Structures are given as C-alpha cells and as structure tokens.
Amino acid sequence: MIIYEEILRDFQKEKVKYAVVGGIAVNLLGSLRSTADLDIIAGMTDENLAKVVKILKKRGYSTKQPLNPAKIADKQTRENWINIKHMKAFNFYKGKGLEEIDLIIDSPVSYEKAKRSIQYFRAGSITIPVVSVDNLIRMKEKTGRMIDKLDIEELKKIKKLRERKNV
C-alpha cells in the first residue's frame, strides 16, 4: 500500500476536485526529494471542501489548529481565516503526526487555474492529479523557503528536459 492510498482512493471515489502539490508532486514530476506530508489544493466550493473534511475525519485525521475543520466548508469562515488569521493551509494529522495532509487554502495558484494543466499519474487503480511543473514553480516561488528554492531548481531542470524531448 502506498502512503495516503486510502485518502487518494476515497478522493477518487467521491470525485473530490483536488491536485497534489508540494514535495510529493515534486517526486511524481520526476525529482528525488524526501518528504512525508501530502499537500493538496482543492476546488474551493463549500461542497467539495466538505467532502475533503469528511474523508479525512473518516480516516482518523485530526486538525492541529484549534478550529472545527467542518467550518472550512463555509466560504465566509474560510475567507476570514485567510484574510484575518492569515491562514495559508489547514493541517490534518493522524496518529503521532507521522501522516500529515496540508490543505492549501491560500495559494498563488488556485485549483481552478491549475486544473487546466493537471498531469495524471497512475498508482495501481488510483489516478493521482498533480499540479503542472509551471504551476508548482509559481507556488514555490512565493514561499521563500530554502527547500522550495531547491525544488524550483530541480523543476526547471525537469522542464528543460521535457522541452528537449518534445523537440
């Protein structure tokens, strides 16, 4: 079983609109990078976010923030968290925190923009939607973290290799 397989399978079954971003996306797009958490962007409709929270709770995930995760499915509450609390992501964890999922709620690339160029990867019977190299670079440019700067270098190399291959 791959890590997060149950979550990804449930997302597929419930037709959750999402894409994998972050370190796992970097790996799937062709680079080697150590990571353990799953970062996702999702369609920001109340209905879609309610599905995400329901699936995560069903699979035993809790939140680190002292907030009711179901409230993320309320647009006004979500906008307050983003604009007033400056929340960028909602963190869910399982067990002793070894399995973590970050639902990115404030990103320079929304799911609506990203969905046009999502790449799909197969893992057994699961189809995993992954944000494109260009969109992942855009997202990582805004963080200022050293790991993201390294990821950007690798993603640019991957992009060049792909471009050469298509010529």
In residues, how long is the chain? 167
Region of 124 (left: φ > 0; alpha: ψ -120 to 50; beta: rest) is left
Residue 70 has what pLDDT? 87
Q: How far apart are the C-alpha atoms of 80 and 96, rounded to whole Å?
A: 29
Percent of the chain with pLDDT over 90: 72
Closest CA to 71 of 53, 56, 88: 53
Statement: residue 18 has pLDDT above 80: yes
Q: What is the model's pLDDT at position 97?
A: 60
Phi/psi at 127 (5° precision): -105, 125
Which residue bears the tokens 């440019």? 141
Give percent of the chain with pLDDT exceeding 70. 98
pLDDT tens profile 75-132: 999 899 999 989 999 999 998 767 899 999 999 999 999 999 999 999 989 999 999 9
DSSP assignment of 1-68 equals: --TTHHHHHHHHHTT--EEEEHHHHHHHHT-------EEEEE---HHHHHHHHHHHHHTT-EESSSS-
CA distance 144 to 17: 27
In the predicted structure, residue 55 carries a pLDDT above the cut 60:
yes
Report which of 135, 58, 73, 76 is spatially closest to residue 103, judged by C-alpha positions: 73
Residue 163's pLDDT band (boundaries 50, 70, 90)? confident
| Cα dihedral: 143, 147, 148, 153 (round 10) | 150
Question: Which one is the CATH code of 5-132: 3.30.460.40, 3.80.10.10, 3.30.420.40, 3.90.1200.10?
Answer: 3.30.460.40
